[in-house]
């Protein structure tokens, strides 16, 4: 049995967070004295610099509480993360993390130096470049934020480790794996590599910030904050994601990192092997959580013949920038793995999007700071929706 702690938490106050996180560790049988004298990589979700109210990042106060708990138990925490487009220094400076890094005198790892993590049992990629600082850690404490996600349906503990890949490498993987299911399989390879690839293996803890989560067009500025009032913890990321997804009331079958994750043999093969400790799923469950439209069956149908540009444009949502919101910051152009976004035409109000080149990864939607990128339905999408 894999234990997942689920505990109600109503605020980001330091006192409540620390109480709840200590209780969560106890629920899963983790002794905090394990932190003693260990160098601990603490990995939050810092997708991009953003205000806390947007619920894009792991809340800085959540991060602070975990760092303080590690220090109280004589561990040596350091911050590690690699945002999608911005530098880590900028993400820290523009968020509540800067004050914590300073007041806690925290080391920040350089994510740009990388090293290869080997994992022979991986299904697609047995050698993955990750930030080398993970190799220097004795233990990894992951702090995922629960959010809806346009590609993987939801993002949590498994998807968080995608941040282990240095910024530009992430776009490359989106381009190599435009099929959403293939991309999820790669995420599971990466998760497996973190769990089994280090020699000796590094203990990994997942402590999830699901107090204020994101619904709708997450996981970036287009997503909508939603109160879930939960903190989850576990040693198995797939199990933690399963419980969080159930609390959100979402369909596990649509979350490939969970449904396919059960088939990987990473310590949990079905829901029957998960023991929820603390509060019950039912006591915190949401009944009207809104998933991202990108996780609709249409968006995930990247199978022949739908991959041809013409058919794809007819039946799959295409990204389109809203001239009323766009500030021509070009962050979407920087992140686009397919080079499908070009400069604006003379006097144009948005960059030029080439829907033929677009692989529908929705990274532009995820990264746009103005939430200016919308999904436009294909003209014949309704026909296929009737069929499935």
Site for ligand SF4, rule CB under 6 A: 319, 321, 326-332, 335-336, 338, 340-341, 350-351, 353, 358-364, 368, 370, 372-373
Closer to ligand SF4 by Cβ: residue 145 or 174: 174
**Cβ of residue 209: shortest distance to ligand SF4, in angstroms?**
25
Closer to ligand SF4 by Cβ: residue 246 or 375: 375
105: left (phi over 0), alpha (psi -120 to 50) or beta: left
List Cβ neighbours of 113 (8 Å cut-off, separation of 6 or more): 131, 132, 133
Radius of gyration of the chain (CA): 20
Distance set, CA 85 to CA 138, 152, 231, 335 (Å): 28, 19, 28, 6
> What's the CA gap between 275 and 3, in Å, rounded?
5
**Cβ of residue 220: shortest distance to ligand SF4, in angstroms?**
10
**Cβ of residue 279: shortest distance to ligand SF4, in angstroms?**
38
Closer to ligand SF4 by Cβ: residue 213 or 372: 372
Closer to ligand SF4 by Cβ: residue 265 or 343: 343
Closer to ligand SF4 by Cβ: residue 245 or 300: 300
Other beta carbons within 10 angstroms of residue 109's beta carbon come to 21
> What's the CA gap between 134 and 117, in Å, rounded?
10
**Cβ of residue 131: shortest distance to ligand SF4, in angstroms?**
23
Closer to ligand SF4 by Cβ: residue 40 or 315: 315
Give yes or no for a contact between 359 and 337, defined as CB atoms under 8 angstroms apart. yes
**Cβ of residue 29: shortest distance to ligand SF4, in angstroms?**
42
List Cβ neighbours of 386 (8 Å cut-off, separation of 6 or more): none
**Cβ of residue 313: shortest distance to ligand SF4, in angstroms?**
11
Give yes or no for a contact between 275 and 282, defined as CB atoms under 8 angstroms apart. no
**Secondary structure element (H or E) that encloses residue 387, with its range:** helix 381-387
DSSP string over 281-326 = HHHH--S-PPPPGGGSTTTT---TTTTSHHHHHHHS-EEEE-TTT-
**Cβ of residue 93: shortest distance to ligand SF4, in angstroms?**
20
Closer to ligand SF4 by Cβ: residue 247 or 340: 340
Nearest to 193 by CA among 115, 258, 254, 81: 115
Closer to ligand SF4 by Cβ: residue 267 or 342: 342
**Cβ of residue 124: shortest distance to ligand SF4, in angstroms?**
20
**Cβ of residue 349: shortest distance to ligand SF4, in angstroms?**
9
Give yes or no for a contact between 353 and 267, defined as CB atoms under 8 angstroms apart. no
Closer to ligand SF4 by Cβ: residue 278 or 351: 351
Give yes or no for a contact between 111 and 167, defined as CB atoms under 8 angstroms apart. yes
């Amino acid at each position: 049995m894999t234990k997942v702690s689920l505990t109600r938490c109503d605020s980001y106050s330091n006192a409540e967070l620390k109480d709840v996180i200590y209780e969560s560790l106890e629920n899963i049988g983790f002794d905090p004295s394990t932190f003693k004298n260990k160098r601990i990589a603490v990995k939050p979700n810092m997708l991009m610099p953003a205000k806390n109210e947007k619920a894009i990042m792991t809340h800085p106060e959540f991060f602070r509480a975990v760092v303080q708990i590690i220090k109280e138990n004589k561990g040596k925490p350091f911050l590690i993360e690699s945002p999608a487009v911005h530098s880590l220094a900028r993400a820290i400076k523009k968020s509540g993390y800067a004050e914590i890094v300073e007041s806690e005198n925290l080391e920040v790892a350089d994510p740009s130096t990388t090293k290869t993590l080997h994992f022979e049992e991986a299904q697609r990629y047995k050698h993955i470049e990750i930030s080398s600082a993970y190799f220097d850690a004795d233990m990894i404490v992951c702090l995922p934020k629960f959010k809806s996600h346009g590609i993987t349906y939801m993002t949590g503990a498994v998807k968080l480790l995608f941040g282990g890949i240095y910024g530009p490498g992430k776009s490359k993987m989106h381009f190599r794996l435009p099929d959403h299911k293939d991309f999820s399989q790669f995420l599971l390879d990466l998760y497996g590599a973190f769990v089994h690839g280090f020699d000796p293996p590094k203990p990994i803890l997942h402590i999830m910030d699901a107090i204020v989560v994101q619904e709708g067009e997450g996981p970036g500025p287009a997503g909508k904050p939603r109160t879930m009032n939960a903190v989850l913890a576990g040693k198995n990321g797939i199990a933690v994601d399963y419980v969080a997804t159930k609390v959100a009331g979402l369909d596990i079958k649509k979350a490939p990192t969970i449904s396919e994750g059960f088939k990987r043999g990473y310590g949990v093969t079905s829901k029957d092997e998960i023991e929820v400790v603390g509060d019950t799923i039912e006591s915190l469950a949401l009944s009207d959580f809104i998933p991202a439209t990108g996780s609709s069956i249409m968006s995930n149908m990247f199978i022949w013949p739908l991959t041809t540009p013409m058919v794809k444009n007819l039946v799959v949502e295409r990204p389109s920038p809203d001239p009323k919101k766009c500030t021509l910051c070009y962050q979407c152009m920087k992140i686009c793995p397919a080079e499908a976004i070009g400069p604006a035409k003379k006097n144009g109000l948005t960059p030029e999007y080439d829907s033929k080149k677009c692989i529908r990864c929705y990274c532009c939607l995820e990264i746009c700071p103005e939430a200016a990128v919308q999904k436009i339905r294909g003209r014949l999408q309704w026909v296929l929706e009737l069929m499935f």
